[in-house]
């Protein structure tokens, strides 16, 4: 598996991660994004994932080719200086055309697995959102997370009353997850910017909603 490259220089590669492929192999093994790393660089000090995306999320995935760029990227993510833009197709329509979700998130584990929940004692989580199109029953949202909590976009869309289509944990799980890591800007010198195309399973919905 060799995904499309959205950006490449001597420090970083931004891969267009396909939906359904985990970023790294889990305990059971299987195909992961790390399988393509030998084609990116054969240096001993890399490549490494600079951050993570859920397995079913498509789009921009930043890979550091060397240790120093990795540390620079990790510092930028940790200090919330990385600008990330997501596109999601959701059920329903938000009450407003834009807004900010500030619901704190806490991980809870149950016999049937774990999930992130909204809780006053959770970690701060902030997501700006904007309505790009709607037919009343479904909507196209652009979201800009200001923090990087696990499942943040997915939980915050559900908090709006508009779960992401295809979300098996926070929505009805019907069809594939319609969430795209659309664009990223990494404030390093020189700056890294990349934009991912709309994946095939989201194209018809985005087009129908004005995209």
Domains of the chain: 5-208 (3.30.2350.10)
What is the reported pTM? 0.95
Strands (E), the chain: 5-8, 12-17, 48-49, 58-64, 83-91, 98-101, 105-110, 113-118, 127-134, 138-145, 179-186, 192-195
**Per-residue confidence (pLDDT) for residue 3, from 0 to 100:** 85
Q: pLDDT tens, 17-76?
A: 999 999 988 777 789 999 988 888 877 777 999 999 999 999 999 999 999 999 999 999
In this prediction, residue 148 carries a pLDDT of: 92
What are the tens digits of pLDDT across the range 71-128? 999 999 999 999 999 999 999 999 999 999 999 999 999 888 899 999 999 999 999 9
Handedness of CA 146, 147, 153, 159 (dihedral sign): negative
Is 61 strand, coil or helix? strand
Asked if 78 and 183 count as a contact pair (C-beta separation under 8 A), the reply is no
Which tokens hold the place of 49? Answer: 């994932």
pLDDT reading at 182 higher than 90? yes
- Going by C-alpha positions, the residue among 72, 65, 38 that lies closest to residue 49 is 65
Which residues are catalytically annotated? 54
- Interior CA angle at 34 toward 123 and 42, to 5°? 125
- pLDDT at position 41, please? 83
Taking residue 43's Cβ as centre, other Cβ atoms within 10 Å add up to 10
Distance CA 3, CA 201 (A): 16
Band (141; pLDDT cuts 50, 70, 90)? very high
Q: What letter does residue 18 receive in the DSSP assignment?
A: P
**Cis amide linkage into residue 190, ω under 30° from 0:** yes
Query: In this predicted structure, what is the pLDDT of residue 25?
Result: 80
Task: Report how far residue 13's alpha carbon sits from residue 186's, in angstroms, rounded to the nearest whole number.
Answer: 12
Q: What percent of the chain has pLDDT over 70?
A: 100
User: Dihedral (C-alpha) 113, 55, 180, 69: value to the nearest 10 degrees?
Assistant: 120
- Angle in degrees, CA 186, 190, 191, rounded to 5: 25
- Average pLDDT of the chain to the nearest whole number: 94
pLDDT of residue 1: 65
Q: H/E element holding 74?
A: helix 67-78
Write out pLDDT tens, residues 5-32.
999 999 999 999 999 999 988 777 789 9
Gap between the Cα atoms of 64 and 34, Å rounded: 12
């Amino acid at each position: 598996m060799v995904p499309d490259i959205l950006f490449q220089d001597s420090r970083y590669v931004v891969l267009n991660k396909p939906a359904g492929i985990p970023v790294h192999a889990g305990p059971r093994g299987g195909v992961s994004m790390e399988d393509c790393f030998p084609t990116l660089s054969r240096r001993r000090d890399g490549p490494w994932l600079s951050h993570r995306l859920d397995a079913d999320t498509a789009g921009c995935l930043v890979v550091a080719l060397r240790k120093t760029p990795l540390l620079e990227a990790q510092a930028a993510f940790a200090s919330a200086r990385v600008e990330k833009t997501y596109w999601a197709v959701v059920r329903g329509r938000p009450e407003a055309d834009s807004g900010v979700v500030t619901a704190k998130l806490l991980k809870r584990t149950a016999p049937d697995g774990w999930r992130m929940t909204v809780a006053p004692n959770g970690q701060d989580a902030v997501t700006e959102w904007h309505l790009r199109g709607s037919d009343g029953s479904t909507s196209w949202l652009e979201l800009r997370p200001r923090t990087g909590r696990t499942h943040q976009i997915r939980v915050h869309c559900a908090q709006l009353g508009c779960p992401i289509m295809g979300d098996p944990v926070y929505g009805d799980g019907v069809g594939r997850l319609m969430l795209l890591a659309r664009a990223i800007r990494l404030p390093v010198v020189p700056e890294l910017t990349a934009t991912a195309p709309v994946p095939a399973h989201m194209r018809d919905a985005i087009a129908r909603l004005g995209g």
